[in-house]
Amino acid sequence: MDKETARRKIHDLSELIRQHDHNYYVLAQPTISDYDYDQLVKELEKLEQEHPDLVSPDSPTQRVGKDLIKNFEQITHRYPMLSLANTYNEGELLDFDRRNREGLAADEKIEYMVEYKIDGVSISLTYENGQLTKGATRGDGVVGDDVTANVRTIKSIPLTLPKDLIKKYGLNSFEVRGELYMEVKEFRELNERRLEAGEKTFANPRNFTAGTIKTQDPKIVAQRPLQIFVYYLLAENENLSSQSENLRILKELGFRVNPASKLCSSIEAVKTYCGELEEARENLPYEIDGAVIKVNSVRQQKILGNVAKSPRWAVAYKFKAKQAETLLKSITWQVGRTGAITPVAELEPVFLAGSTISRATLHNMDEIKRLHIKEGKMVVIEKGGDVIPKVVKVVNADDDYASPPAECPVCQSKVFNPDDEVAIYCENLECPAQVKGRIIHFAAKGAMDIEGMGESLVEQLVDNGFLHTYADIYDLKEKREALLELERLGEKKVDNLLKAIEDSKNQPFSRVLFALGIRNVGANMAKKLASHFKTLDAIVSATKEEIESVYEVGETISLSLKNFLDDEKHQPVIVRLRKAGLQFHDDVTEAKDNFFKNNNFVLTGSLNSYQREEAGREIELLGGHTMASVGKKTNYVIAGESAGSKLDKAKKLGIPVLTEEEFLEKLQEAKKNG
């Protein structure tokens, strides 16, 4: 096909798919079957692969990975919505201050604005000529959902602004960023009402807020007590000189600004004020998870700039996790896919940092011994941000502690404790809990990604004798009729499942390697091994030394690999997976085209956001190569701070040089599309 024909076909197909996307996602009225739609996308992908130069950034194929919400239009943010790096102690705050001072001229004085970090959902509001024109969620930071209709129902968000002030401050067109949230009391009451009505409850106020702002019916949003605090004003306007002044202007314009912010003239003053904020948190009617510290001067902010997705001029300071006391009713021992048996605390439900907690992790037997954990005791639990709650202390501990089960709680087989490990294991590889765990892992998102094959379906299929190993998954298509006999499995569900299983055969080798569930071989390690060895056969025949010569691969991993691959039980399973058509070799052309692929890079000087080795690994994961010295084959040089002779040589040879910022941009772009 000649270029012109390809261009036209790509254009027409893109238009057609966009129309179908619109019908499906926006109107929720599809006019084509899922199968036919997939065929169109496949055809477009094939054409684009053959003509990479014709791939436009707004092609429907470039949307993968962004979660589209039915009925919400997507909005590209005029200014990306950044996130903040975290600091956890005073030392890290001092580092932040030092980096800022190093980034600015020696005689510059730095003032900081300190604010609460509201634990809600960020929102971007656009105002044109004093009118609210758009409300958008963060999305992936670049593209978010248009939730204008919902935002308009929130009474504390002004729909129009005073004309005289717009004129006075030159704000004809600007954006405001803020945090939507729900007060804890309102959250609890609403959740209780939902519980009584038999409706789904929410885990915490933040989830409730996120669920509400993405509700498709603005009338429901209008009934929910959503609140906002705004904290950021963005405009092409030289007059906006500082964060403290911007907050003042926002307030004057009629926005809701959190009262607890303070301008501090030194990092010492910042530390003191953070302490005050932390103390005052107990009395707040809403959830916060720390403070945000921002360089006050907008001019200085611009000099300091951004690293990847967060500004250099601001950080979050996380407060210590909130704690609560409750009764440890009992301990459940859970059996995972490797047979490891881990203890879980069953607690008297208690409300902590926005949610009711009835279970917490106890890690392992060592932790139980260390903390003297025993059933029937009062324990202190802790939760920080999104992390799973954990037991940190026993109140009035004595010498006694809970003992591990003598047999597997699922299959009653013997348990054992390998010498070098704290975990105890069920010795029965056929233990239903292990079998299910392995299959769940195999089908999971980061692995073979078989949609529909989640925990409950795997349990059902194992319990009914359909699955014994993950290789059985690929025989299910011969058992369609029998599957239809199972509870909750209709024609549509079964057919979708069988299609997802077929599709999974296209997953690249690195995913297959990860899905096998080899101990110590996580998703990243599998990628590294796949890109180094290219085929499973090469790994099987590699010596221990060869495996350990791969960057970051040590003995633990090489032994795990050998143990797994040499095991007679695993070999027939792998043979069956091969026969089914899974990828056991790294198809090099499979990596999507990107800036790095097949180019040679030399890294020189020091980078702020990466160790050089790390940066090199990122490049290799994207199909690029790193070289030690600059030569004719070098395509690009990435020059960090105080780069020396290599940079000079690159200039002499006319080799393009990327700054760290440019490199990070390319990296972000490649990852997003990859």
- The nearer residue to ligand IVH, 84 or 540, going by C-beta atoms, is 84
- The nearer residue to ligand IVH, 311 or 674, going by C-beta atoms, is 311
- Do 133 and 195 form a contact (C-beta atoms < 8 A)? no
Least Å distance between CB 664 and ligand IVH? Answer: 16
Measured distance CA(189)–CA(191) in Å, rounded:
5
Least Å distance between CB 178 and ligand IVH? Answer: 8
Q: Strand, helix or coil at 414? A: strand
Least Å distance between CB 84 and ligand IVH? Answer: 4
118 is a contact residue toward ligand IVH (CB under 6 A) = yes
- Site of tokens 């404790």: 417
Q: Which long-range contacts (CB under 8 A, 24 or more apart) does 649-657 make?
A: 650/602, 655/630
Among the residue ranges 80-88, 344-352, 400-408, 653-661, the one whose residues contact ligand IVH (CB under 6 A): 80-88
- The nearer residue to ligand IVH, 235 or 561, going by C-beta atoms, is 235
175 is a contact residue toward ligand IVH (CB under 6 A) = no
Q: Of 645, 633, 631, 641, which Cα lies nearest the Cα of 663?
A: 641
Least Å distance between CB 419 and ligand IVH? Answer: 43
Measured distance CA(332)–CA(338) in Å, rounded:
17
174 is a contact residue toward ligand IVH (CB under 6 A) = no
84 is a contact residue toward ligand IVH (CB under 6 A) = yes
Least Å distance between CB 69 and ligand IVH? Answer: 18
Among the listed residues 143, 235, 250, 292, the single contact to ligand IVH using CB under 6 A: 292
Taking CB atoms, the residue at the shortest distance from ligand IVH is 122
Total number of residues shown for the chain: 674
CA angle, residues 325, 330, 333, in degrees to nearest 5: 120
- The nearer residue to ligand IVH, 300 or 531, going by C-beta atoms, is 300
- Do 111 and 263 form a contact (C-beta atoms < 8 A)? yes
673 is a contact residue toward ligand IVH (CB under 6 A) = no
655 is a contact residue toward ligand IVH (CB under 6 A) = no
- For residues 395-418, one letter each, b for 16 or more C-beta atoms within 10 angstroms of the residue's C-beta and e for the rest, the string is eeeeeebbeebeebebbebebeee
Among the residue ranges 4-12, 79-87, 381-389, 562-570, the one whose residues contact ligand IVH (CB under 6 A): 79-87
Measured distance CA(250)–CA(253) in Å, rounded:
5
- The nearer residue to ligand IVH, 257 or 394, going by C-beta atoms, is 257
Measured distance CA(364)–CA(342) in Å, rounded:
6
82 is a contact residue toward ligand IVH (CB under 6 A) = yes
Least Å distance between CB 50 and ligand IVH? Answer: 40
- Determine phi and psi for 110, rounding to 5 degrees: -110, 130
Least Å distance between CB 116 and ligand IVH? Answer: 6
Least Å distance between CB 143 and ligand IVH? Answer: 15
Instruction: Read off the tokens for 220.
Output: 């429901």
- The nearer residue to ligand IVH, 307 or 410, going by C-beta atoms, is 307
Measured distance CA(438)–CA(431) in Å, rounded:
11
Among the listed residues 62, 83, 361, 659, the single contact to ligand IVH using CB under 6 A: 83
Q: Any idea which residues carry the catalytic annotation?
A: 117
Q: Give the number of residues in contact with ligand IVH, rule: CB under 6 A.
A: 14
Instruction: Read off the tokens for 281.
Output: 């948190």
170 is a contact residue toward ligand IVH (CB under 6 A) = no
DSSP for residue 589: G
Among the residue ranges 59-67, 111-119, 483-491, 629-637, the one whose residues contact ligand IVH (CB under 6 A): 111-119
295 is a contact residue toward ligand IVH (CB under 6 A) = no
User: In terms of DSSP H, where are the helices of 242-293?
Assistant: 243-253, 267-280
Q: Strand, helix or coil at 599? A: coil
Among the listed residues 179, 245, 367, 586, the single contact to ligand IVH using CB under 6 A: 179
* Helices 612-621 + 523-533 axis angle, to 10: 70
Among the listed residues 117, 337, 592, 617, the single contact to ligand IVH using CB under 6 A: 117
- The nearer residue to ligand IVH, 139 or 343, going by C-beta atoms, is 139
Measured distance CA(464)–CA(306) in Å, rounded:
55
Residue 367 is which amino acid? Answer: E
Cα 355 to Cα 88, 204, 205, 283, 643, distances in angstroms: 23, 5, 8, 17, 50
311 is a contact residue toward ligand IVH (CB under 6 A) = yes
Residues 120-139 that bind ligand IVH (CB under 6 A): 122
- The nearer residue to ligand IVH, 213 or 360, going by C-beta atoms, is 213
115 is a contact residue toward ligand IVH (CB under 6 A) = yes
- Do 141 and 82 form a contact (C-beta atoms < 8 A)? yes
Cα 582 to Cα 100, 144, 451, 483, 577, distances in angstroms: 51, 35, 17, 23, 6
- Site of tokens 């096909």: 1
Among the residue ranges 310-318, 390-398, 569-577, 612-620, the one whose residues contact ligand IVH (CB under 6 A): 310-318
Least Å distance between CB 209 and ligand IVH? Answer: 11
Residues 216-245 that bind ligand IVH (CB under 6 A): 231-232
CA 415, chain centre distance (Å): 36
Residues that bind ligand IVH (CB under 6 A): 82-84, 115, 117-118, 122, 179, 231-232, 292, 311, 314, 316
